[in-house]
Structure 1
Amino acid sequence: MKTAILIGAVAGPLLASAQLHALAKDAGLLYFGTAVSPSDSNDGAYYRLSNDIKNFGQYTPDNAQKWDATEPSRGRFTYGQADSIVNRAISNKMLMRCHTLVWYSQLPGWVSSGSWTKDTMTSVMQTHISNVMGHFKGKCYAWDVVNEALEDDGTYRNNPFLKALGDSYFALSFKFAAAADPSTKLYYNDYNLEYFPVKADGAVRIAKLVQAAGVPIHGMGLQAHMTIGRTPSRENLTWTLNKYVALGLDVAYTELDVRIKNLPSNATGIQMQAKEYADIVGSCLDVPRCVGITVWGFGDAHSWIPQTFPGAGEACLFDRNSKPKPAFSSVSALLASASGKRPPWNTAASTAVAAVTKPAAATPTAA
């Protein structure tokens, strides 16, 4: 019933005119953004919508800044694809969330298969971070410095960095990033933090390790790759965000999508998706240090979900023809209803630290 009311509130005039970034700013967030790719230009309607500053005020490159794209062979750096996205953002006067520096996946073979000592891995990491961040210095609002370093049980994921350096690689990564561009916000980024409290606690442990080393860490990125029927409640999501706020960190949803597990979808699934999108965005509105929302990306025609999760899909706010779905309507209505009710996100707002009180409801498990 609540979902139907929410969607009904924006059916008609608002459905055609609601614009996510403008509404998010009015609701006190810094941005509503999307992941983008250089190949977006091959789809005219999608590309035009991705350049609409009133709908999207921030970009994240989906793959163009990852290690295999930026340093495919040792010491040889390539930035053409990433530059095309950054230049689009600058032209559109959008923010950039840059992504990502130290990640176990999409590593070139020379890194993933190398035989590394503590000293050689330290040198390789410093060289990579310094060069990539140096190239984009002053152009990135934030960087995902370390990405997906945890298993779902909260233990450290096995990767070349952990093998060579142990858990010291977290602080080293942030140390090198802070030196390369002192003006940017530095984030740890991971998925399933919303689902598994033990993994959420692992991210707390990483943040504390970095802080204990006297190295800057500014934010926690929660990817929010969700499945309908398994998305935690707004209350539980808010509780998880506040775990990181209690450490003095900003928080953001960095890769949001809500997939429908079994296709073709039906009316019940579509309505459930709309409600769960609104719950996620609502939890960000509930937390003064939640900076913004990034969807991964915004249209079903360009979603990564069907390839990664066969049989699932339709995870985005817009359909395959770049037309808004009920989830778009529910998010737009929620943001519109929150206009003026939260102070604009800024340094003063970001100093607020909420009490971390675990809600009574249990957090559901991921699919």
Structure 2
Amino acid sequence: MKRLMIAALAALLQAASLHAQGLKDVIGKDMLIGVALNKWQSSGGVPEATAIVRKHFNSVVAENCMKSENLQPREGKFYFDAADSLVAFARDNNQTLTGHCLVWHSQVPRWFFKDKAGRTVTRDVLVGRMRRHIKKVVGHFKGKVRGWDVVNEAIEDDGSFRKSPFYSIIGEDFIEIAFRAAHEADPGAELYYNDYSLSNPAKRDAVCRLVRRLKSKGVRIDAVGMQSHNGLDYPDLSAYEASIDSFAACGVKVMVTELDLNVLPSPKGFSGARIEQDFEYHKRLNPYPEALPDSIYRKFEQRYLELFSIYRRHRHQMSRITLWGISDRDSWLNDFPVHGRTNYSLFFDRNYAEKPVVSKIIELWEGRD
């Protein structure tokens, strides 16, 4: 009996020790483990969020305040206050900071692609605007940001270039121009390409071609960011894991940049993380408005453990994992692709309470071989 009591006490002490550790204390030995912050969190206005970041994460990224529509809403008028607040937060809490993002077809100010008469600008004008924006922003944060998502979501699921205004007006070399401009503005910063649905073989192959082409021209590119807005039954994990190997074989590191887990049913026609998707609300698409059933939580937990098992196996090829938000309350998946839903996608609930999956991931990662 005494031996059983001692064993039980030892098990309790071990569990308490694991819980006392943060994700960064374990995963941080192999790579950065980060989280996206909104401007209220990065200003220090949410003490619960600050406590979580200090305990669990060694890396942060702006959810929105470093996007072009926020930094330069009018041509030549830059507003850095919110982003500077994030820089201060990262410095004060000993976090590595990633810049997100320099060139993206979405959340870009309306003036960017038009002249004063409302006509589409010429190639030379848009190249000039893009380069000035990149150089001003990267230059402002020089030495304060470890790396930048330079270009975001430029490839379609079928492997073709997205017909964004950047592509339609400049051509596919807008990507090379953007990477070169970012490197000129801060030669010490790492540079990344970031996209979703990268387990899709056609898209994976296209991004590999892009990376190899940039490297063959002497353009700096350090990593591919796999956004990883995943679901309980997607993506196919074998294809997802194959993409990590494929990108690493291109001579770059792999980052999981926007990790979350959609536990709600998808509307018919939903695909990937294309932000333009907006489906009509139906009750059947919001089945858990009050709480997540235990049966679904178990699937949520199992899926995250499967993903982190993959990341652990590939830790030598990876440099960062970033959760896209701290708590379920703040997750963009409450409104995407259907507004007004209640989702349960992250590691902390709506009251910033830690879910059991966190300790299980720590325990999984500590099982070193």
TM range (shorter): 0.7 to 0.9
1:294–1:10 CA distance, 2 compared to 1 (3 A): farther
Is the contact made by 2:114 and 2:121 (CA closer than 8 Å) also made in structure 1? no
Structure 1: gaps spanning 5 or more residues: 1-7, 342-367
- Residue 323 (1) aligns with residue 349 (2): no
Aligned positions of 1:19-168 closer than 5 A: 19-26=22-29, 28-29=30-31, 31-40=32-41, 41-50=44-53, 52=54, 54-114=55-115, 115-168=120-173
Between the aligned partners of 1:208 and 1:154, the Cα distance in structure 2 is: 15
- Residue 314 (1) aligns with residue 314 (2): no
Aligned to 1:179: 184
Q: TM-score, normalised by structure 1?
A: 0.84
Between the aligned partners of 1:298 and 1:94, the Cα distance in structure 2 is: 15
Between the aligned partners of 1:76 and 1:209, the Cα distance in structure 2 is: 34
Q: Which is higher, the Rg of structure 1 or of structure 2?
A: 2
For residue 14 of structure 1, report the CA deviation from its aligned partner.
4.8
- Residue 217 (1) aligns with residue 221 (2): yes
For residue 80 of structure 1, report the CA deviation from its aligned partner.
0.5
Between the aligned partners of 1:96 and 1:280, the Cα distance in structure 2 is: 24
For residue 161 of structure 1, report the CA deviation from its aligned partner.
1.0
For residue 274 of structure 1, report the CA deviation from its aligned partner.
1.3
Between the aligned partners of 2:327 and 2:176, the Cα distance in structure 1 is: 36
Secondary structure of the structure 2 residue equivalent to 1:221: strand
Secondary structure of the structure 2 residue equivalent to 1:308: coil
**Aligned residue identity for 2:351:** N
For residue 298 of structure 1, report the CA deviation from its aligned partner.
2.2
For residue 45 of structure 1, report the CA deviation from its aligned partner.
1.7
Structure 2: gaps spanning 5 or more residues: 1-10, 266-286
Query: 1 or 2 for the larger relative contact order (CA 8 Å, sep ≥6)?
Result: 1
Moved over 6 A (4+): 8-11
Between the aligned partners of 1:309 and 1:222, the Cα distance in structure 2 is: 19
How big is the alpha-carbon RMSD for the aligned residues of Structure 1 and Structure 2? 2.0
Aligned positions of 1:182-331 closer than 5 A: 182-194=187-199, 196-233=200-237, 235-262=238-265, 263-264=287-288, 265-287=292-314, 288-310=316-338, 311=341, 313-331=343-361
Once the two structures are superposed, what CA deviation does each residue of 1:51-70 show, in whole Å capped at 9, x if it has no partner?
x1x41100000001100011
Once the two structures are superposed, what CA deviation does each residue of 1:223-258 show, in whole Å capped at 9, x if it has no partner?
11001122432x433321111111100111011001
For residue 203 of structure 1, report the CA deviation from its aligned partner.
1.4
Between the aligned partners of 1:152 and 1:10, the Cα distance in structure 2 is: 48
Identical positions, percent: 30
Between the aligned partners of 2:23 and 2:300, the Cα distance in structure 1 is: 17
Once the two structures are superposed, what CA deviation does each residue of 1:186-219 show, in whole Å capped at 9, x if it has no partner?
000011113x111111211221232233211111
Once the two structures are superposed, what CA deviation does each residue of 1:157-183 show, in whole Å capped at 9, x if it has no partner?
121210121111111111111111111
Between the aligned partners of 1:229 and 1:146, the Cα distance in structure 2 is: 28
Aligned to 1:348: none
Q: TM-score, normalised by structure 2?
A: 0.83
Is the contact made by 1:229 and 1:272 (CA closer than 8 Å) also made in structure 2? no
